[in-house]
Amino acid sequence: MRILQGKAAEAYVRSIEHRGSRLDEIEPAVRKIVEDVRRNGDGALSKYARKFDGLGANLGLRVDESEMRSTWKAAPKELRAALQVAEKNIRRFCEWQKPKEWRRSANGAMLGQLVRALDSAGSYVPGGRFPLVSTLLMTVIPAQVAGVKNIRVVSPRPSREVLAAAGMLGVTEFYRVGGAQAIAALAYGTQTIPRVDKIVGPGNLYVTAAKKLVSFDCAIDMLAGPTEGMIISDNGDPAFIAADLLAQAEHDPETLVTFVTTSKQLADKVSHEVENGGRGRPPLQSNAIAAQAIASRGAILIAASKAQAFEWANRIAPEHITVGKDALPLVQNAGSVFVGNYSAQAAGDYASGPNHVLPTAGAARFRGGLSVMDFVKLITVQDLSSQGLTRIAKSIVTLAETEGLKAHADSIRVRCARA
């Protein structure tokens, strides 16, 4: 794993800070799929499901509820237990996150907020090499806790493990479709899949491009890019650090993994651990995906000071970041923070409770990860008495007339004349 210092380290940070995406390259192709599904509904959706998702002629788009329930009952005992632990911790964290309604009264005005769940949400669960049961949990449970009535899951070639997790959660709508066509179906609706208010969940470039294209017609959570993992430490355990870097690197060949330290000695030890393995881990070259990610985007940065280390980190705004217990106040931009030696980033990926659908590509500068807040609306409430309106009437009239909105001012005057 390359070690960078001084100007080379600063150049690396600058290049990562302004990282972009390749969405523009594929948008024309994705736009054709989205528009086709929007115009032609199930016909187009079924066509693409057969072409891209391998949907067989004997399978319908919708998974029967009884299939999900029976798959859950037939799942191996060990998997059932693991899913139940993760579900319990994620649900508890979501309950803690859930916003509250409130009312406050002052000077003749009762002000407050209502919390209302979205009516419907779409959960995208990627297909691919492995059954991403954790993504199903992370996208469905917050919606359930928020009170969303209609939760629609889409996934290409769903595995038995994913269907079992859906059965455990009581999912009632699950569709065997993925890619841009699934996003279009959720955004605009077809004869089989009703439209939703919001689409959440990670996916490949085609899924992300489709979410971008439909975002003016349907709310989305975020535009997710390749996984990112960062660790900042001057005295951590090299094996732990290397293990976390490799864990994130195996997600995708374009994963961004970075270790930042002020210790050249620790940098050398971590580099050795990453390349050669340790404590029972195989060498890097045995994991082709992780090796490609480390070679293309991985780096160890040696900072001149702790302040510089966190200045770099906050500019990069990584998806995952691990820091020491005393450094938490220094983190300004990150998707999720892991504190101390035993807060493995993989714990957040699965079962500790916080969500693993997190902002990437610098989006942590302006938003956090998926949460219950993504599935609710905060609606403000105002209840003014005549005295309460009179107290602020002069200010309202002045501001309305400053903006040239005479009718606004008159709507206040007519009330004050009768107060």
Q: Please give the average pLDDT of every successive group of 10 residues along the chain, which has 419 residues.
A: 96 89 90 97 93 78 96 98 98 97 96 98 89 95 98 96 98 96 98 97 95 97 94 95 94 94 97 82 82 93 98 98 96 98 97 97 96 98 96 98 98 93
Give the CA radius of gyration of the chain: 25
- Stated as kind and residue range, the H or E segment containing 377 is strand 376-384
Specify the amino acid at residue 400. Answer: A
Q: CB–CB of 206/26 below 8 Å?
A: yes
Question: Residue 99: what residue type?
Answer: P
> What is the Cα–Cα distance from 359 to 179, expressed in whole angstroms?
20
- Residues near 125 by beta carbon (within 8 Å), at least 6 away in sequence: 132, 135, 136, 139, 153, 154, 155, 158, 162, 201
Residue 129: the pLDDT is: 74
Active-site pick, 320, 356, 403, 408: 320
Q: What is the DSSP string of 11-30?
A: HHHHHHHT---SHHHHHHHH
Question: Which of 134, 174, 160 shows the shortest CA–CA distance to 370?
Answer: 134
Whether 41 contacts 187, CB under 8 Å? no
Q: Record the tokens describing residue 172, joined without a space.
A: 């009632």
Strands (E), 26-166: 102-106, 109-117, 120-124, 150-154
- Helix or strand or coil: residue 81? helix
pLDDT of residue 43: 94
Spatial CB neighbours of 416, under 8 Å, sequence gap ≥ 6: 389, 390, 393
| pLDDT value, residue 59 | 73
pLDDT of residue 58: 65
**Whole-angstrom Cα distance, residue 314 to residue 333?**
5
DSSP 3-state of 173:
strand
Q: Give the model's pLDDT for residue 284.
A: 81
What number of CA atoms fall less than 13 Å from residue 189's CA on the CB side?
8
Neighbours of 6 (CB within 10 A): 11
Q: What is the pLDDT of residue 128?
A: 72
To the query of whether residue 272 is one of the catalytic residues in this protein, the response is: no
The string of DSSP codes covering 318-352 is: -SEEEE-GGGGGG--S-SEEEESTT--HHHHHHTS
pLDDT at position 265 is 97
Domains of the chain, CATH where assigned = 3-20+226-353 (3.40.50.1980), 23-220 (3.40.50.1980), 386-416 (no CATH)
> Is 173:150 a contact under the CB 8 Å cutoff?
yes
**Catalytic choice (173, 273, 319, 356):** 319
Q: What is the dihedral of CA 123, 124, 129, 131, to 10 degrees?
A: 10
Q: What torsion, rounded to 10 degrees, do the Cα atoms 185, 215, 224, 317 define?
A: -170
Strand (E) or helix (H) holding 95: helix 77-97
Q: Which amino acid is at 407?
A: A
Catalytic (active site) residue 320:
yes
List residues bridging with 219 in a β-sheet. Answer: 198
Contacts for 335 with CB less than 8 Å, ≥ 6 apart: 228, 318, 319, 320, 321, 358, 359, 360, 364, 368, 369
